[in-house]
Amino acid sequence: MKRIAVVTSGGDAPGMNACIRAVYRAGIYSGVEVYGIRRGYAGMIDGDMFKIDRRDVGNIIHLGGTILGTSRSEEFRTPEGRQKAADQLLDKEIDGLILIGGDGSFKGGNFLSEETGIPVIAIPGTIDNDIVGTDFSIGFDTAVNIALESIDRIRDTAISHGRLFFVEVMGHTSSFIAFEAGIAGGAAHLVLHDGHQEVEELCSHLQTLFTRGKHHAIVVVAEGDQPGCSFGIAKTVSSRIEMESRVCVLGHTQRGGSPTSRDRVLAAKLGVCAVNALIDGKGGMMVGEVMREVVFQPISEVVGKQRETDPRMAILSRILTGY
């Protein structure tokens, strides 16, 4: 293998740049040229590629987002679009592809590998942490810490005004951010993506807390597939327990900013192992980390599945919220 390419696709996640840097350095260390593909799959179809040099990856390890850019390409969803992308890779004499992204990106990468035979190694990069086959995905730890910092700041205002706050975190249909940020932030209650209808239960719990003398509370809400759902929940709860509330939707602030050390190290580890996997002749695989060990799984066995939260986290949450 003499020439490989790296692409970031789907939603950006803190640590993607650290991973791009690791891919480049691992490639150069092994005598392999590394090309960057701009704008995700859309750029691949257009042939928007360039040879990465040392200056391109200098001082990017601490940056959020992705220097390559990203997008979602409808054309790549078709066999014709993927063939265009493959032709561009072959025209540039690319021998293998490293893909950094989430489940939707993995589906496209799996089709590309199966239909064209181009070796693809996928690296999980999403704040949702919903990819099976890995304990953590790049960006998750940073997103949790950003949410936690926001919760800590909001608590100051909640205490000062004796107010109920609803803090909505991202995660799509995954509740991992809500669980970890809520537990670490001492939330009074967690409303997970599959529990938006449990308003009666939430009201009862909050009323019990206020009866015991608590004069403020923070409820962490997982956005689920309805971003902004916190406003409806807050309105209903406030009317039933007669307490003024405020809503803070963190939104895309969780996707930006400098990655944590944990995300940088994970990105470095997975990036280097992905390059080595391509050199060793692997393809159609995802590289992840399970119990601190690097593992590989066929992309076909990963796509379309969602990593489930540990049931023990729900028990832990109930214990710590006094529910």
pLDDT of amino acid 321? 82
Tell me the mean pLDDT in the region 106-115.
97
Q: What is the mean pLDDT of the chain?
A: 95
Catalytic pick among 128, 130, 141, 263: 128
For 91, residues 6+ apart whose C-beta sits below 8 A from its C-beta are 47
For residue 322, pLDDT over 80 is answered with no
Least confident of 143-147, 196-200, 205-209, 216-220: 196-200
> Which is nearest to 136 in space by CA: 128, 71, 254?
128
State if pTM tops 0.85: yes
Q: Is the pLDDT of residue 195 over 70?
A: no
Q: HEC states along the chain? A: CCEEEEEECCCCCCCHHHHHHHHHHHHHHCCCEEEEECCHHHHHHHCCEEECCHHHHCCCCCCCCCCCCCCCCCHHHCHHHHHHHHHHHHHCCCCEEEEEECHHHHHHHHHHHHHHCCCEEEEEECCCCCCCCCCCCECHHHHHHHHHHHHHHHHHHHHHHCCEEEEEECCCCCCHHHHHHHHHCCCCEEECCCCCCCHHHHHHHHHHHHHCCCCCEEEEEECCCCCCHHHHHHHHHHHHHCCCEEEEECHHHHHCCCCCHHHHHHHHHHHHHHHHHHHCCCCCEEEEEECCEEEEEEHHHCCCCCCCCCHHHHHHHHHHHCC
Q: 116-127 pLDDT, tens per residue?
A: 999 999 999 999
Query: All domains of the chain, ordered by start, with CATH?
Result: 3-139+259-301 (3.40.50.450), 143-255 (3.40.50.460)
* CB-count exposure of residue 10 (10 Å: 0-12, 13-18, 19+): buried
| pLDDT value at residue 226 | 83
Other CB atoms within 10 A of residue 51 CB: 12
Q: What is the pLDDT of residues 248-295, one digit of tens each?
A: 999 999 999 999 999 999 999 999 999 999 999 999 999 999 999 999
The band of 193, judged by pLDDT with boundaries at 50, 70 and 90, is confident
For residue 152, indicate whether it is catalytic. Answer: no
- Contact 101/122 with Cβ under 8 angstroms? yes
Share of the chain above pLDDT 90, in %: 87
CA distance 146 to 104: 24
51, 72, 134, 171, 176 from 306: Cα distances, Å: 35, 20, 11, 12, 11
**Sequence-ordered list of residues with C-beta below 8 angstroms from that of 87, at least 6 positions apart, any chain:** none
CB 263 within 8 A of CB 142: yes
